Amino acid sequence: MTTAQHTPTHIAITGSDAESLAGPNKDGTPNRGGETSHAGSIETARRRAAEAGVNDRVRFEVEPAAKYGGTGYDLVTMFDCLHDMGDPVGAARHVRGSLAANGTWMIVEPRAGDRIEDNLNPVGRAYYAFSTLLCTPASLSQEVGLALGAQAGEARIRDVVEAGGFTRFRLVAETPFNLVFEVRP
């Protein structure tokens, strides 16, 4: 049996890892864009893209996840940022509207269980501390202020993406530190 491979050609990286797009990639990968609300990361990404000679193939914008530009994306990614957003449901709705009909949203979030007792381990304890000092206050300081925090497990992330209009959601990988979700329309 032969499976056709679809190579993503229109990709949006949103959130805290947008600057990583600017690495030395001279293979002609087209139409990549990075968006984050952190201006310093965008400046770094633009500088790295110019240094790598790929700035004709990538773009970087200072925009919140619920307002980045473009449509028809084959892949939208968010790395360790959905739980920090004030309006993750609004971001999910925006991603849904920006994806191609067969596009994929990849979400990487801190590893968290759905119950408190699932998180009572060394990593979970550290994540509760981060959440208290960074993630939750960051979300509360933004419009809506949903405050998922760093301990939003699979069920809570599923609730957010389904409220954003998605119908397919699955855990595709996990490490001691992260959960990786595949989300489709």
pLDDT in tens, 29-78: 444 455 456 678 788 888 988 898 988 887 888 877 888 888 999 999 99
- Please list, in sequence order, all residues whose beta carbon lies within 8 angstroms of the beta carbon of residue 8, skipping any fewer than 6 positions away: 74, 75
Cα–Cα distance, 24 to 125 (Å, whole number): 37
Q: Please count the helices (runs of H) and the strands (runs of E) in the chain.
A: 5, 7
Cα–Cα distance, 120 to 115 (Å, whole number): 9
Domains identified in the chain and CATH numbers: 11-184 (3.40.50.150)
The pTM assigned to this predicted structure is 0.82
Contact 65, 91 (CB under 8 A): yes
Query: Residue 18 — pLDDT band, cuts 50, 70, 90?
Result: very low
128-166 pLDDT, tens digit each: 999 999 899 989 999 899 998 778 999 999 999 999 999
Between the alpha carbon of residue 21 and those of residues 50, 57, 110, 176, the distances in Å are 12, 11, 21, 25
